[in-house]
Amino acid sequence: MANDNKTPHAAGEYDAEVRRVIPFYEEIQRETLDALHVIVPEPACWIDTGAGTGALVERALPRFPGTRFIVADPSEAMLEQARRRLGAAMAAGRVAILPALASDGLPGAEPRLRAQVVTALMCHHYLDAEARRVAVRACYEVLEPGGVLIAFENIEADSARGRELGLRRWRDFQLRQGRPLETVERHLTRFGSELKPIRLGEHLALLRETGFATVEVLWRAHMQAGFLAVK
């Protein structure tokens, strides 16, 4: 694991490596932007938590020209990459980057955050059950009524055989991207250890229990899923 963030890649290498590890990385971002463009076409404020290097915000800026973006991530190294990527938008007042914090710190951030959109892509699966509940609650608290959370996560299979087949597909995907076998095998051991996936139904139940009025599966492929939740 990289020592400057929770992913297996150093922050400076993340953008080059992530597409070799996460199937449909581009599609995940595209599905997020497409859904929000229909549901909340002109949000005043959008918080991207677990934002990493700021890639999603960079893609969203031209599509949501009236929106101000807040970038949050627990890794200072990732935030430094985001500052380099989003410097012009920061200078124009369209992007603000918070001091390093995770989702659970959003309600206590200063100035007090209120948003119409929160995105949390591939970040809460590092959390155990209680920490995940706290993180989802924090996203809920900073949303205005009617606001939208979109979260993407690794998901656990519903059976042992399903898990075996899913991990086999993930292994094959990474090998096709040219990753060394030893590196791929080491990465797969993170599933269920550093990565703490939960089942699709558990995700939906958590969102409903948190208080979201509308909860739907937005997207699913491989051992990943996206969730849409409206406050």
Query: Tens of pLDDT along 172-208?
Result: 999 999 999 999 999 999 999 999 999 999 999 999 9
131-157 burial code (b ≥16 CB/10 A, e <16): ebbebbbbbbbbbeeebbbbbbbbbbb
pLDDT in tens, 41-94: 999 999 999 999 999 999 999 999 999 999 999 999 999 999 999 999 999 999
- Which domains does the chain carry? 11-156+194-230 (3.40.50.150)
pLDDT in tens, 136-168: 999 999 999 999 999 999 999 999 999 999 999
How high is the pLDDT of residue 99? Answer: 96
How high is the pLDDT of residue 1? Answer: 46
Distance CA 174, CA 195 (A): 17
**Average confidence (pLDDT) over 112-131:** 96
How high is the pLDDT of residue 13? Answer: 85
pTM for the full predicted model: 0.95
Please give the angle made by the CA atoms of 149, 152 and 156, to the nearest 5 degrees: 130
Report DSSP letters for 113-178, one per residue: P-EEEEEEES-GGGS-HHHHHHHHHHHHHHEEEEEEEEEEEEEE-SSHHHHHHHHHHHHHHHHHTT
Please give the mean pLDDT across all residues of the chain: 95
